Amino acid sequence: RFDKDFGQHILKNPGISDAIVEKAYLKPTDVVVEVGPGTGNITVRALEKAKKVIAIELDPRMGAEVTKRVQGTPLAKKLEVILGDVIKMPEMPSCDALISNTPYQISSPLIFKMLSMPNPPRIAVLMFQREFAKRLVARPGDALYSRLSVNVNFWATCKHIMKVGKQNFKPPPKVESDVVRIEPLLGSARPNVAFEEFDGLLRIAFNRKNKTLRAAFSVKEVLAMCERNYKVYCTLNNIPIDESIATDDATAADDVDVEMDVDDDNDAKPDDEDAAAMDEDDDDDMPTFFKEVKDADVAREAAKTPSRNPKSRVALVVKGKVNKVLGSTDLAEKRARQCDQNDFLKLLLAFHEEGIHFS
């Protein structure tokens, strides 16, 4: 019996298992990580081609199945089974290749986990639900373009390999699947920025991907985070921080400015559609902070009166820096859905120049 909660849809067509392993171009010296070996259909083929397969399996029953399948054969000594949740592992074992008929619940966290590895594998061949696979290869302007699309295409190259119909699985899933090949950029080809920084910026920009970046960076909690991180930067670089309250006109002017930023958004899409788009987006791993941002934003829209909270001078400095960066990069009026990876990189580097960080 297969457990749907574990995303157990076993491949019953050996041709597909063969093709997944084939497309990973395994070498006899390769260490392979397979996520979710199940009964071992893909595992045995990978074991025939590689030096070693580390199979990470959440369900102990399946762990026992795959072990039993190779018991007494020469393949047994090349197999290591780790029982557990791959996403909860502090680090994925280092490997040359990653393969998986991916349990659909962990599609997004698995990709993020792989891309953020300091030494990612040379190649990953992964099967996903079709909608998810489409998000991986989406381009700016496409409806499915998301934070996930930008990250994958920034840190790796991604190619669609083949379509797999639902009749190839037992039990058949509700939707069709696709196999993709992801080749992370390695060594000097890997962008020289911290994963968490680039992703931190994308989280803000894609929090509402149909809003202008100016609006995205006017959200109170986003500015508060920029301020917190800027203070850390100042402390590390011996830059004095002025926390005194600004009582001059700048405070009121700044508040009105923020209000206008939020209102100045003539999206074609209403906000609830935005939110729906986000829900199917890659925010299944979104921290509470961003959920709060959405609530705060809605509350602000509802109040419709300029807030006149006193602000510290450092808060005004940060707001000024944010405006300066958005202006100098010429991206203030662009929306995340239209920006390509170079726009985001340009933006990140300009923020760093001003001492503003996102992780």
Which stretches of the chain bind ligand SAM, using CB under 6 A? 6-11, 35-38, 41-42, 56-59, 62, 85-87, 101, 103, 106
Token representation of residue 111: 């990709």
Q: Give yes or no for a contact between 180 and 20, defined as CB atoms under 8 angstroms apart.
A: no
Q: How far is the CB of 43 from ligand SAM (least distance, A)?
A: 7
CA distance 235 to 112: 31
For the bound state, the minimum distance from the C-beta of residue 63 to ligand SAM, rounded and expressed in Å, comes to 9
Q: What is the CA radius of gyration of the chain?
A: 24
Nearest to 127 by CA among 9, 297, 270: 9
Closest CA relative to residue 205, chosen from 338, 349, 359: 338
The torsion region of residue 3 among left (phi > 0), alpha (psi -120 to 50) and beta comes to: beta
Give 57 or 282: the residue with its C-beta nearer to ligand SAM: 57
Residue of this chain nearest to ligand SAM (CB atom): 36
Q: Do residues 339 and 348 touch, judged by C-beta distance below 8 A?
A: no
Integer Cα distance of 94 and 310 in angstroms: 50
Q: Which is nearer to ligand SAM, 170 or 291 (CB)?
A: 170
For 188, phi then psi, to 5°, come to -70, -15
User: Cβ closer to ligand SAM: 113 or 214?
Assistant: 113
- Please state the closest distance from residue 184 (CB atom) to ligand SAM, in A: 20
Tell me how far, at minimum, the Cβ of 36 lies from ligand SAM, in Å. Answer: 2
Between 169 and 230, name the residue whose CB sits nearer to ligand SAM. 169
Nearer to ligand SAM, 62 or 111 (CB): 62
Q: Which is nearer to ligand SAM, 14 or 310 (CB)?
A: 14
8 Å CB contact between 39 and 6: no
Q: In whole angstroms, how close is the CB of 206 to ligand SAM at the nearest point?
A: 25
How many angstroms separate the CA atoms of 273 and 154, rounded? 27
Cβ proximity to ligand SAM: between 166 and 231 the closer is 166
Give the three-state DSSP class for 36.
Answer: coil
Q: How far is the CB of 116 from ligand SAM (least distance, A)?
A: 17
Q: How far is the CB of 12 from ligand SAM (least distance, A)?
A: 8
